A and B are shown apart, each in its own frame.
Chain A
Amino acid sequence: MLKIDHLCKKYINSDVYAVKDLTLEVKPGEMFGFLGLNGAGKSTTIKCITGIYPYDSGTIEIDGHDIKKDSLNAKLSMGYVPDNHSVYEKLTGREYVNHVADLYYVDKADRQARIEEFAEKFRLSFALDRQIKGYSHGMKQKICIIAALIHKPKLWILDEPLMGLDPQSINDIILEMKAHCAQGNTVFFSSHNIDMVAKLCDRVAILRKGQLCEVIDLHVEENKATLEEKFLAYTAENVQAVAVKKGRKARKEAKKAQKAAKSAPVTEAVVAPIQESPAPKKDEIRIVSRRKANKVPNPPRFHMLREGK
């Protein structure tokens, strides 16, 4: 469904690769998670897949269509929910979804049925005829999801879809993601919520500094249990820092994982080489110490609110 082959992306005026030699294949019916720290290259990869960003080398195929050579068919096969939930805010929710439906050739009967279905599912019926400008964060996210699903895409891509949502909305979206996969479609999403990724996904990829560390099969129970440790091991600046936070057992796991990341490829995944971690610095270790991590900042003062009296 999604095939990325040796993708390389460098931003203009930058010497560093945002994404380097990324190779990945996601199958139909699969729910695929994309993990990494902030700035690891998750969103950049997603924007390359969707055709938003140009890339330097490599190929991306969606449902057999190359995003560069056969972009229109590739785009018709996917739906995308951006991380910043940007939409045409001057339009009403219904106007926006109808506009997207027009662009994806959705006929009248289908769009009417789907708009009603999704609006009800995501509890947005009451606001559908309201201008999007007045929507809350969660409502904007939901209208983006409805618009992304209006043409029933084979590949549904979501960039950090659950950030800042209430538990009910999170549940609604998770149910829809599962239902989408159950219909033989693919869901590809980035997230920072490791527990949720472990519960939901069939497979997960960990990205670090634009390079793929490992693709982990979550059908293997052990992988599910150790996902967080592996993630921390791959993404931490050094093993000691993880160890301070997680204890002796974690230290062993982390060392093991980091060793594996440096050397051997994992089944069904292409493992890109990881740069040698720099020697630990004192203050880096101190940052993750419990004492400082638990320190709660002072509450903000609100002198200015008195003005409102």
Chain B
Amino acid sequence: MRDVHSNHAVKALVKLELNSRFADVRLNTVGGVLKALFGLIAIAAIYYLYVTIAESIILSFYVYNRESLFLKLAMSIIGYVFAIAGISSIVKSLFFSGDNELLVRFPVKVMDVFTSKVLVQGVFTFVYITAILLPLMIVYGRVTKAPVSFYGMIPVGIILTWLTVFGVSILFAIPFMRIKTLVKDKYILTLIFSTVVIAALFAIYMIVVKELMKFMQTKGVSFFSDGMMGGIFTASKYFYPFAQISELMEFDNLILSAPIAICVPVLIAVIDFLMVKKYYLKIMLRNLEIEGSSFSKVSNDVVRPHFGSLLKKDFLEIFRSFNYSFQYLAMSLSAPIMAYFSTDLAVTIGQDKIGAVVAPALAIMVILLFVSILVSFAATTVSREGDTFYMTKLSPVPYNLQILAKFTLYMIVSGSIVILSCLAIFLGGFVDVKTFFIVLAICLMFAVGETCMAIKIDLTKPRFPVGEGKEMTGGSVNVFASLLIGLILAVVGGIWAIAGGYIFGAEFAFLILLAVAFVYCLGSCLWCFIGLKKAYAKISPAR
């Protein structure tokens, strides 16, 4: 009887979860159908591109008789990336979907709540992994003329990869959440820690790639040389358990690969089960409790001008939020380090082939790419205010000044990123003094333009968050639009600086870029600030 009740509860909760995920999908309107249709066309196009690229890479490995290594590398990379990305999804789903407080009030066992959330998350993970791995494996089989047994092993490979990925995500999600509850309200500590981790991981990654490239250049070996392949082959043995899963699929090294490929997911599942049983409820309740708790800070009654007061409020709203602080401040603080290493790598690869002009051009592209990513946060300017948006309308302060305060905050951050990144590149010896100032001016003007554009995009159609906590934890259409514009500008600007510099000379290319940046900056500012009152008047917060 209890099992029947439990099954009903899980079914109901799964239905609830699916309804909340697909609430936006409407096929009963022309707009909804068109949206779905465009989505399908976009997916088909991406798929076509993916399969074509995969086929050519597999062919390259096949020519050098290294196809098995490709399968190992591909499965390992896909497995690890999914496992890491899955941690964030599982944490959001288990602890921040906004319904935990509601669900614990229902006559439903907590284990059922966990199962329902994990089940939906698991199904999605399975669909994504299958969507990525299945075409890859079919193409692999076709190109390498694999035996029929390989095709028979594809479902086994996918299921084992999925189980491992999903198990690892849960394995890390619960301890991560525990640590998060411990460091709550320790904003500076969290910010420093996140910044150091992001910067360190990125630096290590870039150093490894750079050394690899240098090794290949100095030794004059290609990626497929025996020495290179041998090294990668040795390293790939340690890509547990994905390398072993790929071996199992090809019936290779069965004595070792079969037990590892099967035992690792099983072992992870057992650990997950024990950990969930012992800690999930405790951590969930603890999180629910501390979500509502707060810190104390004695402050003085200081009089500030409107601008200063708005600036301080906006900063604290970001700084005192774990999500926003991580998304924006930690990423921004580590951006100059990322820009330095990326430029270093790009110059290492490109300088010999194209010439000295490539260094500042690549620096511009790299800095603009990072600026675009970080400035896209400004595309949540109005949306982030959520229920407190009424304060904006109620305040006896002109909208221009309110937006100017927000704009200034973003510019302090993105301006600092640009200045520090340019300094890092200058001190790294990639550009001279004159070029340093030109790159700085171009990047600063683009940063101003992109910030204004992002703000205006959000102002035009804000998407106020709903649910518990009411923070914007996922990307919105506005963020995507701002990001897309920024990335296109960065790539086009970078390509022009390289190609234009090569054809017309560096000075002319930078002059044109400087002029374009100025026009873009001015145009965006005018677009953002003119007619602000009218744009604000149109916004109606939720009823």
Chain B residues with CB below 8 A from A108, complex form: 301-303
Closest B-chain residue to A51, C-beta based? Answer: B393
Closest A-chain residue to B309, C-beta based? Answer: A102
Q: Are B297 and A92 in contact (CB under 8 A)?
A: yes
Interface: B106 (CB within 8 A)? yes
A99-B312 contact given A88-B317, A90-B320, A130-B294, CB 8 Å threshold: yes
Closest A-chain residue to B285, C-beta based? Answer: A308
Q: Are B306 and A102 in contact (CB under 8 A)?
A: yes
Interface: A12 (CB within 8 A)? yes
A94-B301 contact given A86-B388, A103-B397, A300-B107, CB 8 Å threshold: yes
Q: Are B313 and A88 in contact (CB under 8 A)?
A: yes
Chain B residues with CB below 8 A from A98, complex form: 299, 301-302, 304, 309
Chain A residues with CB below 8 A from B312, complex form: 99
A307 CB contact (under 8 Å) in B109, B538, B543: B109
Interface: B321 (CB within 8 A)? yes
Q: Are A130 and B296 in contact (CB under 8 A)?
A: yes
Identify which of residues 245-288 in chain A touch chain B, using a CB-to-CB cut-off of 8 Å.
none
Chain A residues with CB below 8 A from B109, complex form: 303-304, 306-307
- Mark A residues whose CB is within 8 Å of B: 11-12, 43-44, 47, 50-54, 71-73, 75-76, 80, 82, 84, 86-88, 90-92, 94-95, 98-99, 101-104, 106-108, 111-112, 115, 129-135, 300-304, 306-308
For the complex with contacts A50-B394, A99-B313, 16 further pairs of A-B residues with Cβ separation under 8 Å are A44-B543, A47-B390, A52-B541, A86-B388, A88-B388, A90-B316, A98-B301, A102-B303, A102-B308, A115-B301, A129-B296, A129-B297, A129-B299, A132-B294, A301-B107, A304-B108
Interface: B398 (CB within 8 A)? yes
B300 to chain A, nearest CB (A): 9
The interface bits of chain B over 365-398 (1 if a CB of A lies within 8 angstroms of the residue's CB, else 0) are 0000000000000000000001110110111111
Closest B-chain residue to A307, C-beta based? Answer: B110
Q: Are B321 and A87 in contact (CB under 8 A)?
A: no
Chain A residues with CB below 8 A from B386, complex form: 86
B178 to chain A, nearest CB (A): 18
- From DSSP, what is the main secondary structure of chain B's interface residues? loop
B540 CB contact (under 8 Å) in A50, A53, A84, A304: A53
Q: List 19 A-B contacts (CB under 8 A).
A: A12-B540, A80-B394, A82-B390, A84-B387, A86-B386, A95-B316, A98-B301, A102-B303, A104-B396, A129-B299, A130-B295, A131-B296, A131-B297, A133-B292, A133-B293, A134-B293, A300-B105, A306-B109, A308-B285
B396 CB contact (under 8 Å) in A75, A91, A135: A75
Give A50 to B316 CA distance when docked, in angstroms: 26
Chain B residues with CB below 8 A from A53, complex form: 540
Chain B residues with CB below 8 A from A54, complex form: 537-538, 540
Give A135 to B395 CA distance when docked, in angstroms: 23
Give A135 to B435 CA distance when docked, in angstroms: 54
Q: Are A52 and B107 in contact (CB under 8 A)?
A: no
A103-B317 contact given A75-B396, A94-B301, A134-B294, CB 8 Å threshold: no
B296 CB contact (under 8 Å) in A92, A106, A308: A92
Chain B interface residue count, Cβ-Cβ cutoff 8 angstroms = 49
Interface: B298 (CB within 8 A)? yes
Give A48 to B321 CA distance when docked, in angstroms: 32
Identify which of residues 259-305 in chain B touch chain A, using a CB-to-CB cut-off of 8 Å.
281, 285, 292-299, 301-305
Q: Are A112 and B295 in contact (CB under 8 A)?
A: no
- Mark B residues whose CB is within 8 Å of A: 104-111, 281, 285, 292-299, 301-306, 308-310, 312-313, 316-317, 320-321, 386-388, 390-391, 393-398, 537-538, 540-541, 543
Q: Are A302 and B396 in contact (CB under 8 A)?
A: no
Give A85 to B91 CA distance when docked, in angstroms: 29
A170 to chain B, nearest CB (A): 23
Give A304 to B317 CA distance when docked, in angstroms: 36
Q: Are A99 and B309 in contact (CB under 8 A)?
A: yes
Chain A residues with CB below 8 A from B543, complex form: 11, 43-44
Give A126 to B435 CA distance when docked, in angstroms: 58
Q: Are A92 and B299 in contact (CB under 8 A)?
A: yes
Give A95 to B299 CA distance when docked, in angstroms: 7
B236 to chain A, nearest CB (A): 44
Q: Are B107 and A102 in contact (CB under 8 A)?
A: no
Q: Are B313 and A129 in contact (CB under 8 A)?
A: no
B466 to chain A, nearest CB (A): 13
B298 to chain A, nearest CB (A): 5
Q: Are A94 and B292 in contact (CB under 8 A)?
A: no
Q: Are A102 and B305 in contact (CB under 8 A)?
A: yes
Q: Are B394 and A52 in contact (CB under 8 A)?
A: yes
B278 to chain A, nearest CB (A): 13
Give A19 to B251 CA distance when docked, in angstroms: 74
A134-B305 contact given A50-B393, A87-B388, CB 8 Å threshold: no
Give A73 to B321 CA distance when docked, in angstroms: 34
Give A45 to B499 CA distance when docked, in angstroms: 60
Give A84 to B540 CA distance when docked, in angstroms: 15
A95 to chain B, nearest CB (A): 6
B317 CB contact (under 8 Å) in A90, A104, A112: A90
A296 to chain B, nearest CB (A): 19
Q: What are the 10 A-B residue pairs with the smallest beta carbon separation, nearest first?
A: A134-B294, A131-B294, A102-B309, A86-B387, A75-B396, A90-B320, A307-B110, A76-B396, A301-B107, A303-B107
Q: Are B281 and A111 in contact (CB under 8 A)?
A: no
Q: Are A131 and B295 in contact (CB under 8 A)?
A: yes
Q: Are A91 and B316 in contact (CB under 8 A)?
A: yes
Chain B residues with CB below 8 A from A75, complex form: 394-396
A308 CB contact (under 8 Å) in B281, B316, B394, B396: B281
A103-B309 contact given A111-B301, A134-B293, CB 8 Å threshold: yes
Give A130 to B537 CA distance when docked, in angstroms: 34
Chain B residues with CB below 8 A from A301, complex form: 107
Closest A-chain residue to B187, C-beta based? Answer: A90
A76 to chain B, nearest CB (A): 4
B377 to chain A, nearest CB (A): 16
Q: Are B313 and A91 in contact (CB under 8 A)?
A: yes
Chain B residues with CB below 8 A from A50, complex form: 390, 393-394
A152 to chain B, nearest CB (A): 14
B323 to chain A, nearest CB (A): 12
Give A87 to B313 CA distance when docked, in angstroms: 12
Chain B residues with CB below 8 A from A76, complex form: 396
Chain A residues with CB below 8 A from B541, complex form: 52
Q: Are B107 and A304 in contact (CB under 8 A)?
A: yes
Chain B residues with CB below 8 A from A115, complex form: 301
B294 to chain A, nearest CB (A): 3
Give A92 to B197 CA distance when docked, in angstroms: 30
Closest B-chain residue to A68, C-beta based? Answer: B537
Chain B residues with CB below 8 A from A71, complex form: 396
A2 to chain B, nearest CB (A): 15
A307-B394 contact given A53-B540, A86-B388, A102-B303, CB 8 Å threshold: no
Give A169 to B438 CA distance when docked, in angstroms: 62
A154 to chain B, nearest CB (A): 13
Closest B-chain residue to A43, C-beta based? Answer: B543
Chain B residues with CB below 8 A from A12, complex form: 540
Give A115 to B15 CA distance when docked, in angstroms: 49
A183 to chain B, nearest CB (A): 21
Q: Are B538 and A103 in contact (CB under 8 A)?
A: no
Q: Are A103 and B395 in contact (CB under 8 A)?
A: yes
Give A87 to B391 CA distance when docked, in angstroms: 8
Give A108 to B292 CA distance when docked, in angstroms: 31
Give A101 to B301 CA distance when docked, in angstroms: 10
Q: Are A107 and B303 in contact (CB under 8 A)?
A: yes
Give A76 to B398 CA distance when docked, in angstroms: 12
Give A101 to B302 CA distance when docked, in angstroms: 10
Closest B-chain residue to A131, C-beta based? Answer: B294
Chain A residues with CB below 8 A from B285, complex form: 308
